[in-house]
Structure 1
Amino acid sequence: MKRILLTVALAFASCCASAADLDTAVVTAGTQHEVIEQAAKVIQDRYVDSAMGRKIAQAIRRQASTDAFAHDHDPETFAQALTAELRRVSDDGHFRINYSAQLIPLPDANASAQYEEDDDSWAGPAINHGFESVRRLDGDIGYLDLRVFAPPRIAADMLQSAMTLLAQSKALIIDLRNNGGGDSSMDLLMAAYLLDQPAEMSAIYDRPSNRLTRTMSPVWVPGRRFGGSKPVYVLISHKTFSAAEAFAYDLQAMKRITVVGEASGGGAHPYERRRLSDHFLIKLPEMRSINPITGTDWQGAGVKPDVPTAPELALDKALELARAAVAQQAGSDKKPKH
């Protein structure tokens, strides 16, 4: 019995020591070089722009050879520094290096989404799945402040409720000024509420497979549609990014919405998460968006507003435009029909 208790005590002490080591982890020069070399290799092989991929790989290898990260002993600091360098060279805001205190398992060929983030970590109940505000403003104008495009599997019912409440409005303002993106499926679903018929949205080109996947807004949506004829104003800022930009860009190209604010962040390259080492992952942009109307995307340049306005004044400007549109429609409805 004493031997068993001693064994258990030693195991417990070992476990606690391991946890303490993780809390006070230090990145050695060897680990830095391993992470950088693996990042360079996977970027060169898989980054959406092959020429840029080679340029990025050369740049970070050069940084490693000069010990540019020698003072970044903290793993989180190192991850942030390498992220900044990747974004500086590529001008691609989707790049990110993530550190995990827990051991990252080796890739499993049978697991399609092995390294995906837990939904609740970025779009969970703590932020109400991104639905910051849903209300009716004076003048019969609907308003939705959406902070993230949560996956439909956890937030489709929230979108249904919001759009059903807003469907009766004479005009709608969708505020994406603080929306950094999220799940592209939610982008497609939300677009369908503003259309009368399914429409082709931006296709996704995947460099590793050399495959183009076309996308459509859903044929059917739960709840009530706002419809495809009443005015819609989408507010954007430099914080608007990724899936939020896709939503604005695609509907703007269809001339379905009026975009108000400033140019958005410019992230049109969807990413995959790839393992670099036991404790580091990379968010690697391997795809690009291709709009069927413009033939291009918003990478780097951002979505350009139809009505350029300082972000802090964008809501007031949209309200002014919405009220004018509603008044004009009311005047048209009163005219006698011959």
Structure 2
Amino acid sequence: MHRWIVTLSLSLAMPGIAVAQAPADDPATIVAATRAAIAERYVLPDTAAKLSAALAAPEKYRGLSGDALAERINADLHTVTTDKHLGIRYDPKMAAMLGNQPLPDDDAAMPPVMARMIARQNGGVRAMEVLPGNVRMIAYDGFAWGTPEAEAAIIGAMQFLRGGDAYIIDLRRNGGGSPGAVAALASYFVAEGTPLMRFEMRGRPGEATTAPRAPFSLAGKPLYVLTSGGTASAAEEFATHVSALGFGTLVGERTAGAGFRNDLLPIGKSYVLSVSSGRAISVKTGRDWEGVGVTPAIAVSSDRALPTAQAAAMARIATMATADDKREAERLAVFYRALATGMKSGRALGDYAGVYGDRKLIVAGDHLMSSRGSRPASVLVPVGGNVMAPEGDPLSRFRFVEQGGRIVALEVERVDGSVERAARNAGQ
């Protein structure tokens, strides 16, 4: 199994690698080398022939160089297929790093610049956060593998999740990576040896993956995985396992539909070609996701995926909570559901603005803001009728008292049941 982090699209610059301006390669040479590589490696031979034919008129590329040549080649390739793994990029730095060695290659040493990139990006684990209600979330932006730092990043992230009552893994910005990292992550949720994927490779023996042995298990607690239209490739493989093997719930948008597996090849001195050389097939479903993506169980826009997952997580936690914790969990579930659905207040926001004791409420744009003394102002989120909850304290409830058609008082109720009431200042 290869060890490289391979991102979705060659149009995405590799972080930490500056692109030098090298003399342009001869366009006829670049096009000919691109055609030869596609003919040899592209996963679908019939499509490979059509792709080669699309590049068969050398006069179209005469006089082009750098990014302009790459863009023209890509435009012609994509008249044949929408394959998101297929494309060429003008990238002298990456081409020099590859030398004559394509990626992946199990026998080649990882270039030091790539190993440093993986270490500096913490193996793709961008953030870890404890959310209200002890929901543990990691933002995982790339399935990096093949270095001690990449493996340690997954172990550390899973150890962090282990202390939560529910888990969220955010893949909305994850463009892919290595099947090795996918198998490692899945192993925390399924039994050792669980069949995962079968890879049908052009010109090379196929591969099958199974879940390795994990240091501990995270199975048995609610797991939510966030997706977007940018969730691609290896990230879609993990999403497929979540759905097909049933160890979590996908929340968000249908994924990118980038189901092929790719190689990176240097073309000339200044270009890098990503060519799809294999097809990934779920052992459980017998299908791939090329061109169709993975559909989440809870379909919402990607910007509302997190609060939607939080609401679902807190509802699940509430069903398992003791009496002491149940009230808190239910309140959080209501808050995040309102945030996810964009619930509206019972009246116009301006009707609530005013001064209530030492608390001041003002309208700022589309939000009602509450401030008190020198404390930072907090957005109030409508949770039903004339009831709101502060974003900074989602367990509290601001209940507005209406009398004679106007708001006359504010009652702030804490989760412990205590209530603080303040009349609205006269004349407001």
Q: TM-score range by the shorter chain?
A: 0.7 to 0.9
Q: Deviations over 1:97-142 (max 9, x none)?
A: 243267674469x9833797942475340x3332221122111211
Aligned with 1:48: secondary structure? coil
Q: Is the 8 A contact 2:184 2:214 kept in 1?
A: no
Unaligned ranges ≥5, structure 1: 1-21
Structure 1: how far apart are the matches of 2:189 and 2:99? 42
| Displacement of 1:85 | 3.4
Matched AA of 2:37: V
Q: Deviations over 1:53-99 (max 9, x none)?
A: 1111111224x34x1x34533x2332243234334422111123243
Partner residue in 1 for 2:291: 300
| Displacement of 1:26 | 3.5
Selected match of 1:240 from 231, 236, 239: 231
Partner residue in 1 for 2:125: 131
Aligned with 2:80: secondary structure? helix
Listed as ranges, the matches of 1:146-295 within 5 Å are: 146-153=140-147, 154-209=149-204, 211-221=205-215, 224-226=216-218, 228-295=219-286
Matched AA of 1:169: G
Structure 2: how far apart are the matches of 1:117 and 1:242? 24
Matched AA of 1:321: A
Q: Is the 8 A contact 1:267 1:298 kept in 2?
A: yes
Selected match of 1:311 from 291, 298, 302: 302
Larger mean Cα displacement after TM superposition, 75-84 or 251-260? 75-84
| Displacement of 1:212 | 2.4
Aligned with 1:233: secondary structure? strand
Q: How many pairs does the alignment contain? A: 299
Matched AA of 1:267: A
Structure 1: how far apart are the matches of 2:37 and 2:110? 16
The answer to whether structure 1 residue 72 and structure 2 residue 82 are counterparts is no
Matched AA of 1:225: S
State the TM-score, normalized to the length of structure 1: 0.80
Structure 1: how far apart are the matches of 2:275 and 2:78? 11
| Displacement of 1:24 | 5.8
Q: 1:25 to 1:225 in 2, by over 3 A?
A: same
Q: Counting helix residues as a fraction of each chain, which structure ranks higher? A: 1
| Displacement of 1:225 | 2.9
| Displacement of 1:319 | 0.6
Unaligned ranges ≥5, structure 2: 1-19, 326-428
% identical equivalent positions: 25
Q: Is the 8 A contact 1:189 1:218 kept in 2?
A: yes
Q: 1:85 to 1:250 in 2, by over 3 A?
A: farther
Structure 2: how far apart are the matches of 1:208 and 1:229? 41
More contact order relative to length (CA 8 Å, sep ≥ 6) = 1
Partner residue in 1 for 2:76: 85
Matched AA of 1:316: P
Q: Deviations over 1:3-56 (max 9, x none)?
A: xxxxxxxxxxxxxxxxxxx846244xxx21121122112212221011111111
Structure 1: how far apart are the matches of 2:111 and 2:262? 11
Structure 1: how far apart are the matches of 2:129 and 2:100? 47
Q: 1:231 to 1:244 in 2, by over 3 A?
A: same
State the TM-score, normalized to the length of structure 2: 0.64
Selected match of 1:48 from 24, 40, 43: 43
Q: Is the 8 A contact 1:252 1:258 kept in 2?
A: yes
The answer to whether structure 1 residue 322 and structure 2 residue 313 are counterparts is yes
The answer to whether structure 1 residue 144 and structure 2 residue 138 are counterparts is yes
Q: Counting strand residues as a fraction of each chain, which structure ranks higher? A: 2
Partner residue in 2 for 1:9: none
- Which structure has the bigger radius of gyration? 2
Structure 1: how far apart are the matches of 2:244 and 2:257? 16
Q: Is the 8 A contact 2:119 2:150 kept in 1?
A: no
Matched AA of 2:31: I
Aligned with 1:295: secondary structure? coil
